[in-house]
Chain A
Amino acid sequence: MADPLDPAQSVAEQAATIPGDGQWPVWEVFTQSEEGAPHEHAGSVHATDAEHALQNARDVYARRGEVISLWVVPSAAITASTRGDAGPFFDPGADKAYRHPQFYKVPRGVRGL
């Protein structure tokens, strides 16, 4: 299937790729629950463009008043690591004690470090 988010595609191509029984592209929704909190993944919605995705995300994921900000991202735009990547990606981080402050000794009585 052609990429429905590619702006270079012609209208005719687009119309051909998304018939009535096909579906609108999927967008991932991230919600922020309070000032200063990170945006967290809430789920996804189907929508035809960014404004539409934002409105659908608002109606689906913010209807209980626990959200103060929303992000929507085309699912196709997300690149994720795989479980196969996990060893080479993340295990090497586990033994780098020098990245943590506790690794370093500080003379007694010195404050503000």
Chain B
Amino acid sequence: MTAPSVLPPPPPAPHDELELLLRLGDDRLVLGHRLSEWCGHAPILEEDIALANVALDLLGQATMLLRRAGEVEGKGRDEDALAYWREAVEFRNCLLVEQPNGDFAFTMARQFLFDVYAVVTLDAVSRSTNAELAAIAAKALKEAKYHVRHSGEWMLKLGDGTDESHRRVQGALDELWRFTPELFAADDVAARLAAEGIGPDLPALRAHWHELVHDVVERATLTLPHESSHTPHLNGGRAGMHSEHLGHLLAEMQIVARSHPGAKW
């Protein structure tokens, strides 16, 4: 038994801040990578360029976040060491972003759900008590606000377009919905960070996210899947328990770097 402490609770260990940076950074690295798979294969030239812009923003954010993660960790790892030399179980991204692209409707539905999540979380992180983190989030927030405008418009176009597009995007939403509770699940790390005002209070952000998603989904003549269809065990990403897809993504991403240990590029 420990005696009741007269001291305030200890500040989050550097480990917590590192976790947060990896979660934010890996989400963007993995989703940026997924979007870059579209490069040269989009439905129309204008969209090829648009998707590449979003991929570039996300990879730029990932670079900043992972670089900062390396600094906080203090073991001399830079953003490339973290991106290219970690195993799948060491990645901290949510399961949503690692899901394969599927068709354009699937990619856009995945993007839209993430973009709204990014806007609400970055808005919170931009007011973090951690100045470095707040600055990165503030910059990323501007980008995310454009991303959601882009993916939101596509939700409307596909939802209220043709019968085929409606069927496809509704199917994508139904399929992806089970990955959304994870976005707002707070484990001990997230709870400590939120209590200290460093990280976002995820459970508290869910209602706002839901409202924003619902608004677009309704205007797009789509319906939100029932919560009951959620399978509760799909939330391991933040602890490194991923879907099988991530390993394949990383195998491709890391192959050149890992074939030449110590080489410079």
A binds B: yes
Tell me whether B153 and A51 are in contact (CB under 8 A): yes
Q: Please indicate the chain A residues that have their CB under 8 angstroms from the CB of B230 in the complex.
A: none
Interface size range on B against A: 10 to 19
Taking the complex as formed, is A52 at the interface, i.e. its CB lies under 8 A from any CB of chain B? yes
Q: Please indicate the chain B residues that have their CB under 8 angstroms from the CB of A45 in the complex.
A: 46
Tell me whether B50 and A55 are in contact (CB under 8 A): yes
Tell me whether A47 and B46 are in contact (CB under 8 A): yes
Tell me whether A55 and B49 are in contact (CB under 8 A): no
Q: How far is the CB of B159 from chain A (nearest CB, A)?
A: 15
Q: Please indicate the chain B residues that have their CB under 8 angstroms from the CB of A55 in the complex.
A: 50, 149-150, 153
A63-B153 in contact given A45-B46, A46-B44, A47-B46 (Cβ < 8 Å): no
Taking the complex as formed, is B254 at the interface, i.e. its CB lies under 8 A from any CB of chain A? no
Cβ contact of B153, chosen from A24, A46, A52, A60, cutoff 8 A: A52
A59-B49 in contact given A51-B153, A52-B153 (Cβ < 8 Å): yes
Taking the complex as formed, is A17 at the interface, i.e. its CB lies under 8 A from any CB of chain B? no
Work out how many contacts link A and B, with CB atoms closer than 8 A. Answer: 27
Q: Please indicate the chain B residues that have their CB under 8 angstroms from the CB of A60 in the complex.
A: 46, 49
Tell me whether A59 and B153 are in contact (CB under 8 A): no
Q: Which residue in chain A gives the minimum CB-CB distance to B156? A: A51
Cβ contact of B53, chosen from A47, A51, A63, cutoff 8 A: A63
Tell me whether B50 and A59 are in contact (CB under 8 A): yes
CA distance A63 to B53 in the complex (A): 8
A46-B53 in contact given A51-B153, A55-B149, A55-B150 (Cβ < 8 Å): no
Q: How far is the CB of B155 from chain A (nearest CB, A)?
A: 13
Contact with A along B4-45 (1 / 0, CB 8 A): 000000000000000000000000000000000000000011
Taking the complex as formed, is A56 at the interface, i.e. its CB lies under 8 A from any CB of chain B? yes
Residues of A39-96 at the interface with B, using a CB-CB cut-off of 8 Å, are: 45-48, 51-52, 55-56, 58-60, 63
Tell me whether B50 and A56 are in contact (CB under 8 A): yes
Q: Please indicate the chain A residues that have their CB under 8 angstroms from the CB of B149 in the complex.
A: 55
CA distance A55 to B154 in the complex (A): 11
Tell me whether B49 and A46 are in contact (CB under 8 A): no
Q: Which residue in chain B gives the minimum CB-CB distance to A23? A: B44
Q: How far is the CB of A64 from chain B (nearest CB, A)?
A: 11
Q: Which residue in chain B gives the minimum CB-CB distance to A46? A: B46
Q: Please indicate the chain A residues that have their CB under 8 angstroms from the CB of B49 in the complex.
A: 56, 59-60, 63
Q: Please indicate the chain B residues that have their CB under 8 angstroms from the CB of A47 in the complex.
A: 46
CA distance A52 to B153 in the complex (A): 8
7 other contacts beyond A55-B149, A55-B153, with CB at 8 A cut-off? Answer: A45-B46, A46-B46, A47-B46, A55-B150, A56-B46, A59-B46, A60-B46
Closest 3 CB pairs of A and B: A59-B50, A56-B46, A59-B49
List 27 contacting pairs A-B, 8 Å CB cutoff, sorted by A.
A24-B44, A45-B46, A46-B44, A46-B45, A46-B46, A47-B46, A48-B157, A51-B153, A52-B153, A52-B157, A55-B50, A55-B149, A55-B150, A55-B153, A56-B46, A56-B49, A56-B50, A58-B146, A59-B46, A59-B49, A59-B50, A59-B53, A59-B150, A60-B46, A60-B49, A63-B49, A63-B53
